[in-house]
Amino acid sequence: MVKRVPARVKPPIEGQQEEFEPVCRYNHAVSRSSASISRPPGARSAGRVCRVWASVLVLLTAAACSAPREEGASEAPKFADIAHPSPEVLEPALAAEVKTQRSNLEALQNGDHLPPAELARAYGELGRLYQAHRLLEAALDCYREAHRLDPQAFNWAYYLGVLSASDGNVDDAAGAFARALELRPGDLPSLIRLADLELDRGEIETARGLYQEAVSLDGSLAAAANGLGRAEVAGKRYAEAIEHFNRAVAIQPDASVIHYHLGQAYRQLGQLETAESHLARSGKVRVAMPDPLIHDLLALALGAGPHLSRGNGAMREGRLGEAAAEYRLAVAADPENSMARQSLGSALARLGDLEGAAAEFNAAVRLEPSARAHSDLGIMLAELGDDGGSLRHLRRAAELEPELEKVQLNLANALGRLGHYGEAAEAYRRLLEADPSNPQAHLTLADLLVRQEELQEALVHYHRARELLPTLGAAWVREATIL
């Protein structure tokens, strides 16, 4: 009997059907007659002939499988492996949309005579969905495949450049942006992103030329003027750099990061007073650049996640109004998301809307009664004059996370403010058990002990506070008062 040839199985790739290495199988069995059975005349020779023909068939079949494919014969297309995220980690709305797009993509992959540009579009749109939700590894895989399938499409080259740069693949990113500029000469976002890459890898004159081209195309673009200033600094042309930086900050006055570059340029020219003035005004607000393709991703946002991400970025840069707007969108997308509620509460508190903040913190406590949610609500209620409610939530926060220093500190301060000096002192003792090198905690504990007329123990903590921080004048004065 000819044995069955086992198929070698590749492990399945998430999101693709299992692939098997093509093999030829032949499963013809030849009977072997027992010697005890009588045969008609010629049967032995007939059996021998059958075995010969079986062998011939095996050889012919194997030869057919191993024969080279005729020129022009079609092969099954090969597609890239995509690092698709597991549906379990996605919000329900996003998981459903990803499932739909992946099903459409797989149907296109299995179709016949599909134009590559159409398949590229399916990969690219899935990549855009992933990028809109910060699933960047999967998005980058999709853009690579989309660009491979349709190198004439500007969008896939541009998105590939953006994510390759963020992934640290500078050469890939530069190549993608160069291709984008071939397809759409003078595209400002591509010019500036490519110039940034060239400057970062030390190609100063190349970067300078690209920035100059961008400035010549649009003199009102702060990103182009700022980039040209950075290139001039890299080339040690500080006076020219200052001119470009001043133009950039005139276009976008809130871009506080430009003041840092101005300060460094003035310092190189020896104008130290002017340098210090600009450095004192420097901050985290970056230079804006209109970027239509990236802006288009906002429309793909599903659920609270993308809005939370953008809101957090705005909060870090001090753009509180924008942050609050994004957090409101997050709450609208998912009203039961406690993090969205808590984040909106924090933004509203910093904007001075204390009642609005308290309402959001209260919703966060209802949805997920964590220590942070209780603590934030307790602090906000104290600001609104609700001391009883404040203390109730701060106590609960300390019960939930007794080892969390900030929670214990909030409770201790509230207890002291409300005249519960004994409880406040105990809270500060717990804080000092966790961190005995905190001079402010020693000072506050000493003040609480004085209020309880426990002067000897108070002296110990005043003394320890000034040992840890000799410049803490209050500890010296109060210790001297007791003595």
Name the 3-class secondary structure at 29. coil
Q: How many CA atoms lie within 13 A of 230 on its CB side?
A: 25
CA dihedral over 335, 339, 344, 345, signed as positive or negative = positive
Q: Please, where are the H alpha helices in 252-287?
A: 257-268, 272-280
- Check: CB of residue 288 under 8 Å from CB of residue 223: yes
Report which residue type is found at 273: E
Please state, in angstroms and rounded to a whole number, the distance separating the CA atoms of residues 283 and 317.
Answer: 8
DSSP characters over 309-345: HHHHHHHHTT-HHHHHHHHHHHHHH-TT-HHHHHHHH
CATH code of the domain occupying 419-483: 1.25.40.10
Q: Mean pLDDT for each 10-residue chunk of the chain (483 residues)?
A: 34 32 30 34 41 40 42 55 88 88 88 84 94 93 96 97 95 96 96 96 96 95 96 96 97 95 96 95 91 89 84 88 93 90 94 94 92 90 88 88 79 82 84 85 86 88 89 83 74
For residue 9, the cross-strand partners are 20
- pLDDT score for 49: 40
- Check: CB of residue 340 under 8 Å from CB of residue 304: yes
Domains 186-292 and 419-483 share a fold: yes
pTM: 0.62
Please state, in angstroms and rounded to a whole number, the distance separating the CA atoms of residues 390 and 417.
Answer: 12
> 302: which DSSP letter?
-
> 8: which DSSP letter?
P
Q: Which residue has the tokens 């159409």?
A: 118
- Check: CB of residue 127 under 8 Å from CB of residue 139: yes
Q: Domain 186-292 falls in which CATH fold?
A: 1.25.40
How many angstroms separate the most distant Cα atoms in the chain? 131
Q: Contacts from 93-98 at CB under 8 Å and sequence distance 24+?
A: 93/302, 93/303, 94/129, 94/133, 94/302, 94/303, 94/305, 97/129, 97/302, 98/126, 98/129, 98/130
- pLDDT score for 77: 56
- pLDDT score for 438: 86
> How many residues are given for the chain?
483
The domain limits of the chain are 186-292, 419-483
Q: Which residue has the tokens 């400057």?
A: 199
Distances (CA, A) of 274 to 81, 139, 196: 55, 45, 27
- pLDDT score for 78: 66
